[in-house]
Chains A and B, each alone.
Chain A
Amino acid sequence: MNNVIVRDYDIPANDFTAAGEASSSVRKILVQLGVSPYVVKRTSIAMYEAEINAVIHGHGGKAHVEIDGSKVYIRISDEGPGIPDLELAMQEGYSTAPDSIREMGFGAGMGLSNIKKHSDIMKIDTEVNKGTTVHITVFFNAI
């Protein structure tokens, strides 16, 4: 496969009927391409967590995805409140999710660490009151 598959998705704020749709769509493409189940699983975990963060913390946002013969690159960006202390936010168990979100099963404070664990490259650009962009790369040949 030499060509690059590019997809863009809107991620609506606080809309749980749409939450996960972008991740589902990317998962489907990867399965169709015959990418290994391990890579499909890692990509799904990482992208879903970033997508949900945009939904519940970032006032919604956008996903941009590029798939080539060797990797999937995902960029999830929002114009929400940003993350004041990224090191703290990365810690497992740290969450500012309100009770209404926790009642649905979110807010374990595992999202960012799940993204890190299940991707090969993770980079977060964030600025308070400007927004957050999470860059995720998963290589197909990862062991």
Chain B
Amino acid sequence: MTIEELVRDFGYKVITGSAEDLKHPVKGVYACDLLSHAMAKVNSGDLWITIHTNINVVAVASLTDAACVLIPEGIAVEPQTVERAAEKGVVILSSPSTTAQVCHEVLSMIGMKS
């Protein structure tokens, strides 16, 4: 399951990410808004769901080698964050769905293995 396929299947909006970046595989999901938890628990290749849209999200996603960040509930992403993510090659997606719904969607596609 690639980022691109998730975008296509669930209509996630691509906020940042080149066509090349979107070909990367999504291997798992992690959802938590505490950055220390995310830092320790996001695995390489995970889709990380957080409601935070500040610039620190880019640093955590980049340091954990997350496949992408997904911002749920249609929350607007801060322009500074979008700019930095584009610079760093961090993919940000957005969805009107809740965190729980997105977890369900993505986990159903990657087969519940964690």
Q: Which A residues contact B (CB, under 8 angstroms)?
A: 16-17, 19-21, 23-24, 27, 37, 41, 44-45, 48-49, 52, 104-106, 108-111, 114, 117-118
Contacts and interface: CB of A to CB of B under 8 A. Distances in A.
A38 B49 CA distance: 23
Looking at chain B's contact residues, is the secondary structure mostly helix, strand, loop, or mixed? helix
A27 B63 contact: yes
A118 B64 CA distance: 14
Given A24-B63, A44-B63, A16 B40 contact: no
B24 interface: no
Contacts of B40: 45, 110, 114, 117-118
B13 interface: no
A108 B63 contact: no
Given A45-B39, A49-B36, A49-B39, A104 B54 contact: yes
Contact of A108 (B37, B55, B62): B37
Contacts of B37: 108, 110
Q: Residue among A23, A108, A117 with the most chain B CB within 10 A?
A: A108
A70 B58 CA distance: 30
B114 interface: no
A108 B59 contact: no
A118 B84 CA distance: 27
Which of B38, B40, B52, B84 gathers most chain A CB within 10 Å?
B40
Contacts of B64: 41, 44
A105 B59 contact: no
A24 B62 contact: yes
B56 A19 contact: yes
Nearest to A27: B63
Given A16-B54, A16-B55, A114 B63 contact: no
